[in-house]
Amino acid sequence: MGDVEVFAEFGDGALSAPWWDGFAVSQGTAFHASRFLLPWWRDRLAKNPESRLVTARVVDDEDIVGICAFEVDADLLSFAGGRDVVDYMGPIAIAGREKEVAAALGEWMFDGLPWSRAHLAGLVNDDAAAQAMIDEALRRAPSAVAGTYDQAPRIDEAPQGYLAGLNSKRRADVLRKRNRLIEAVGELELVASTPETVLDLLERLLAWKACASAATSGFVADYGGFLRAVLTELAAADTGHVVELRASGRPLASAIMLRHRDTAYIYNMSYDMSLTAESGLAPGVVLVSLLVERSLDSGLRFDFLKGAQDYKLRLGGVPVDLTAVAVER
């Protein structure tokens, strides 16, 4: 085993190279793959033309052992992704090589890049590469501050079945909400988008979301274009869909679902608020519970992504901390 070396380049060329996705797909999350990062970067660059993307690969001899993408905005260094639309960021590494990768990236970041402030977010506390990066940043900058800023609930497995894995109170609540919705609107079905229908279903989700609140309306205005671009890319690769809950052909709720390796992620969701306003029904919770059940029964981990809202916990999510490291020099 030789010494590892960092090869870095500015621009998005590396994200289009086969080796990037070859590594990201086998070692990372949905948010590390180029089909997610490239649409994010195009949206980010359109909004902030002065930003620069930097990609780094850590190589041992000719073998890639780790990769990471960064953004440099004026004097601020951060992981590529931004906290508004990307949940998991930071380095990914071959199992057992996480500390070497973090040390090599740390030396390159601190000695080879011009920045005066760093905000390194999206680091998952149960991920070895993320933890090694946290440790390396704190070692190189003892005055750095690391702290939890959010949580991402997950359900790793359900060997007895999803509903059986819930306690009796939560199980009864899920079934009650399902039965009330069925009584009100009829039998339920899940309909997943195809590459041809994904944008139509997404438009309905965005329209519901824009009507929900001022905050969600602002999100749609800011990131609707990004969502259209990224869902088009993901749908073409069969790794992203909009899934609708319907009754007698009527759409009730929908969710953006991502699939990467052994994990199903619920990225965003919305629902027809007239159902809750008129009768107190819970189509959103029913949809999510059905998606969780379907994913776990298929042997997948279910990741609710960031935001430890109460409904995620009631549906069985177990929170995992997300850490950010702030450095000034």
| CATH code assigned at 201 | 3.40.630.30
Q: Which pTM was predicted?
A: 0.94
Q: What is the DSSP letter of 227?
A: H
- State how far the alpha carbon of 281 is from the alpha carbons of 36, 184, 205, 250, in Å: 34, 8, 18, 15
SS3 208: helix
Q: For residue 56, give the 3-state DSSP assignment.
A: strand
What is the residue-level pLDDT of the chain in tens, covering all 329 positions?
A: 458 999 999 999 999 999 999 999 999 999 999 999 999 999 999 999 999 999 999 999 999 999 999 999 999 999 999 888 999 999 999 999 999 999 999 999 999 999 999 999 999 999 999 999 999 999 999 999 999 999 999 999 899 999 999 999 999 999 999 999 999 999 999 999 999 999 999 999 999 999 999 999 999 999 999 999 999 999 999 999 999 999 999 999 999 999 999 999 999 999 998 887 667 799 999 999 999 999 999 999 999 999 999 999 999 999 999 999 999 98
Q: Give yes or no for a contact between 286 and 253, defined as CB atoms under 8 angstroms apart.
A: yes
pLDDT at 278: 60
Report the C-alpha gap between 210 and 217 in whole angstroms. 4
- Domains contained in the chain, number: 2
Number of Cβ within a 10 Å radius of residue 199: 15
Q: Is the domain of 80 the same as that of 17?
A: yes
Rounded Cα distance between 133 and 129, Å, is 6
Same domain, 8 and 127: yes
Please give the pLDDT value at position 83: 81
> Containing domain of residue 254, as a range?
158-298
Q: What is the predicted pLDDT for the residue at 94? A: 97
Q: What is the pLDDT of residue 1?
A: 41
Same domain for 28 and 111?
Answer: yes
Whether residue 314 contacts residue 153, with contact meaning beta carbons closer than 8 Å, is answered with: no
How far apart (Å, rounded) are the C-alpha atoms in residues 259 and 173? 27
